[in-house]
Amino acid sequence: MRLRFKPGPEQRTALRAQLARLQQPTAVLGILRSVLAADFNPTVVIRAPQSVHSDRFVMRVQLRSNGGKERAYALKVLSDEFGERIWGHAQALAARRQPNHESLCLPSRSIPHERSLPTP
């Protein structure tokens, strides 16, 4: 990983704008649709920032359907393309891990244009 990354003013402004945009349920669903099962139709979206830094933030998202099914995600958003390197490392770890229910919690995909990594 990298140490002491300091984003520029434009990157910080863009990240704050992304955080503000993701306060809207439709924006969050727009990102998570690609990782949701086709038969899961969320009707309730609960969002809560968990960690906010100058170069990244993590938002917890809980989704609930009319049928009572629930899904929870951590949505990590970065100020630059570093998420692609994280995604590459996550893929390498996923290829080597043993299938069990107590393994690492890895991102399910990378969404480069959003600079985000959704993790179930």
pLDDT digits (tens, 9 = 90+) for 49-68: 999 999 999 999 999 998 89
The DSSP bridge partners found for residue 111 are 116
Q: What is the pLDDT at residue 103?
A: 65
Least confident of 60-64, 71-75, 83-87, 116-120: 83-87
Q: pLDDT tens for residues 29-50?
A: 999 998 999 999 999 999 999 9
Domain boundaries, the chain: 9-94+105-119
Query: Which of 81, 40, 45, 80 lies closest to 61 in space, CA to CA?
Result: 45
Rg (CA), the chain: 15
Query: Which of 78, 41, 74 lies closest to 59 in space, CA to CA?
Result: 74
Contact 41, 74 (CB under 8 A): no
Query: Residue 16: pLDDT band by 50, 70, 90 thresholds?
Result: very high
Around Cβ 59, how many Cβ atoms within 10 Å? 23
Task: Find all residues with CB under 8 Å of 15, minimum gap 6, and list them.
Answer: 7, 54, 55, 56, 57, 77, 78, 79
